[in-house]
């Protein structure tokens, strides 16, 4: 089954800092994929990347997120094995209420993880590298909160 796109597949998500303890970040276990990742999803028609990021965050974690103005991880680009190019934009924000945390699908598990433990938890090398590239800036951001 081949997909033909006018351009790359656009995805968007959020690196979410805990309201209670901003040095803890949200990682998401997805049972269906058996992986650990960050909340993200496809940009739907009529949405911009920021709207997608906020919608996906709330769908996948139950959290309403306030984004940090102008903060974004380096974009991630990769190719699907079956063809097609993907561009993922990841914004950075803070949960407005940690207690709203819930999973979207049975068996999925959103979890707060210390910034030090995030790289080891992420399943994909490219996501890990994206996180590590942004980490110094992230620590600077957290220190000012």
pLDDT per position as a tens digit, 21-58: 999 999 999 999 999 999 999 999 999 999 999 999 99
Asked if residue 24 lies in contact with residue 18, where contact means CB atoms within 8 angstroms, the answer is yes
Class of domain 9-143: alpha beta
Query: pLDDT value at position 121?
Result: 98
Q: What percent of the chain has pLDDT over 70?
A: 96
pLDDT in tens, 92-108: 999 999 999 999 999 99
Q: In angstroms, rounded to a whole number, what is the distance separating the alpha carbons of residues 90 and 106?
A: 25
Task: Provide the residue ranges of all domains of the chain, joining segments of one domain with +.
Answer: 9-143
**Confidence category of residue 7, pLDDT binned at 50, 70, 90:** confident
- The CA dihedral of 109, 115, 120, 126, to the nearest 10 degrees, is 90
Q: How confident is the model at residue 4 (pLDDT cuts 50, 70, 90)?
A: low
pLDDT value of position 111 = 97
Q: Confidence band (pLDDT; 50, 70, 90) for 125?
A: very high
């Amino acid at each position: 089954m081949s997909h033909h796109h006018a351009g790359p597949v656009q995805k968007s998500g959020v690196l979410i800092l805990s309201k209670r303890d901003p040095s803890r970040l949200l990682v998401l276990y997805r049972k269906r994929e058996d992986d650990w990742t960050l909340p993200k999803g496809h940009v739907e028609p009529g949405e911009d990347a920021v709207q997608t990021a906020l919608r996906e965050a709330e769908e996948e974690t139950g959290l309403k997120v306030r984004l940090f103005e102008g903060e974004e991880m380096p974009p991630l680009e990769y190719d699907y094995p079956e063809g097609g190019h993907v561009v993922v934009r990841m914004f950075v924000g803070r949960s407005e209420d940690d207690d709203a945390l819930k999973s979207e699908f049975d068996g999925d598990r959103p979890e707060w993880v210390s910034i030090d433990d995030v790289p080891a938890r992420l399943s994909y090398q490219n996501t890990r590298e994206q996180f590590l590239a942004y980490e110094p800036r992230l620590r600077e951001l957290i220190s000012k909160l």
